Structure 1
Amino acid sequence: MAGNSASLLTKTQRNRIRDDFDELVEEKKRRDQQRIRERIRSGLFDFHLLADYPDRQFALTFDETPDDELRTALADTTLVVERLRELHGIDRAEVIEEARTRAETVSDATTGTETLSRVELRTAAEIRRETEAEVKERVGTGRWDTRADRLAKLGASAFIPLALIGIFDWYVSGNLLGATAPVSSLLMAILAVSMIGWLLIVAAQALKHDVLPAFRKLMRNPEAAVRGAVTNLFEDPKETLRESWEEL
């Protein structure tokens, strides 16, 4: 817990927040809130200096702090960071990309910051892709993926002989389609059913994994969702195409 040493908030300000500014007239309450906002803003920008602070100093800073207290403090810090990000409509992926750039920059320019290379900074999309890859590797292809693959193969197996019959009828015999009408009709039916089934499965998967999550994100924070989509599409189109190809 915060002690008596200098901190982001003064002892009086901490007491004010704990007491929810009780027993203060409105003018004094607004003045204290303004001062707290200024200290929060200044304290947040101080982390620019701490990004490459030596690991040894961080270790000594919390050397006597119990793990449960430190864990709670880190959890509260994470909540504050996430709330600030949400309030200002900043996409989490943008923050992570910026943090990656900062980590690479400061780790190359300073020493004693080995933890920077061990920090895992991954976007939600990257985590999802890695999780899907791990699950597929562990349990194999999903049931619906297997069904879609079988339907695609069934459609291909019907299309190839149907195409050969059509080519042979066009170039060699003008009556082959008529002579093989029952077989051709069966092949066309198989092709149609398999392709419709494949499209339905793919559409359902896209709806579940792509459309609905994007819609929920748009409803929760439209500005951040639109900005993130535009950024991903236009800032690095090659990377966007590469990721899309890998997700196929």
Structure 2
Amino acid sequence: MSDSVSSLLTRTQRERVQSAFEDVEPAKRRRDERKIRTRIAAGVSDFDLLVTYPDRQFELAFEDRANQELRSDLADAYLTIERIRVLTDIDRDAMIETAQERQRSATDEKTESLENVQLRTCDDWRRTIETELADEYRPSRWKRLSDTLLKIGVALLVFVSLLAVVAPDFTNGYGSIPGIVGAGILFSGLAIVGVRAVKYDVLPALRWVATDPSAAFRAFWDQF
């Protein structure tokens, strides 16, 4: 006995859906639509079993399917599931949370792929983005050092300037030492800022000009 491949829809049903039930009598159309609804509802319920279906069986099921074709089919399946969710007014985050619970309880040695499935709610995405932005814009060690040196240097110079107004004779002697130290610290901070500017601004710009002069010129021109 030869194996017959079954699908969610029968061959006749697929043909009639593709033709939008053209030339099908109203009574037959209503009958077919009722049967299709029943098959869809039953098919969705089968996913309860397929969640824990062994990885190897999925690999064998699609080993002869081209990646592009499979990607297109999975995209259609995803859109269909999302349409059902929207039409039935099911909150997406609530569905994701339920899927996360199912994922945690269903993982075993035959379904290792479940561990690689990423399910994130809107709150999960928000926390991830906030963390990534915080890491990206967190000042580096050199940035913090340069800021500190600049603040200390400016503070010392301001102190000496005020001291020169109050006690000008004192600042001509030992009182000038804080100003000298402040100038040195300020110069160190500015030097770090300059090196970072060369590394992160000047050199990338020069590389861009060297690799694509026309694009660099257009970008420069667009600034005006």
Q: Which residue of 2 aligns with 1:125?
A: 123
Matched with 1:14 is 14
- For 2:137 and 2:6, locate their aligned partners in 1 and report how far apart those are by CA, in whole Å: 53
C-alpha distance in 2 between matches for 1:140 and 1:36: 56
How many angstroms apart in 1 are the aligned matches of 2:26 and 2:6?
A: 27
Confirm or deny that 1:100 pairs with 2:100. yes
Q: Deviations over 1:158-184 (max 9, x none)?
A: xxxxxxxxxxxxxxxxxxxxxxxxxxx
**Which residue pairs with 1:84 in the alignment?**
84
Unaligned runs of 5+ in 2: 140-224
Question: Alpha-carbon deviation of 1:111?
Answer: 3.0
Q: Shift of the alpha carbon at 1:46? A: 0.5
Question: 1:85-140 CA deviation, whole Å, 9 max, x = no partner?
Answer: 11111111111111111111121xx4311011111111022112211220221134
Structure with higher RCO (Cα < 8 A, 6+ apart): 1
Counterpart residue identity of residue 135, structure 2? E
- 1:184 paired residue number: none
Distance in 1 of aligned mates of 2:109 and 2:13: 36
Identity of aligned residues (%): 43
Distance 1:126 1:96 in 2: 11
Runs ≥4 residues deviating over 6 A: none
Counterpart AA for 1:48: D
TM-score, normalised relative to structure 2: 0.58
* Residue equivalent to 1:224: none
Aligned residues: 136
1:139 matched to 2:140? The reply is: no
1:44 equivalenced with 2:49 (yes/no): no
CA RMSD of aligned residues (A): 1.4
Q: CA deviation at 1:43?
A: 0.4
Deviations 1:5-46 (A, max 9, x none): 201111111101000000011111010000000000000000
What do the CA deviations read for 1:51-70 (whole angstroms, capped 9, x no partner)? 10000000111001010111
Tell me which amino acid in the other structure corresponds to 1:87. L
Mapping of 1:47-196 within 5 angstroms? Answer: 47-107=47-107, 110-140=108-138
Within 2, Cα distance between the matches of 1:82 and 1:139?
A: 36
Distance between the aligned counterparts of 2:131 and 2:6, measured in 1? 48
**1:60, 1:7 → 2: CA distance?**
17
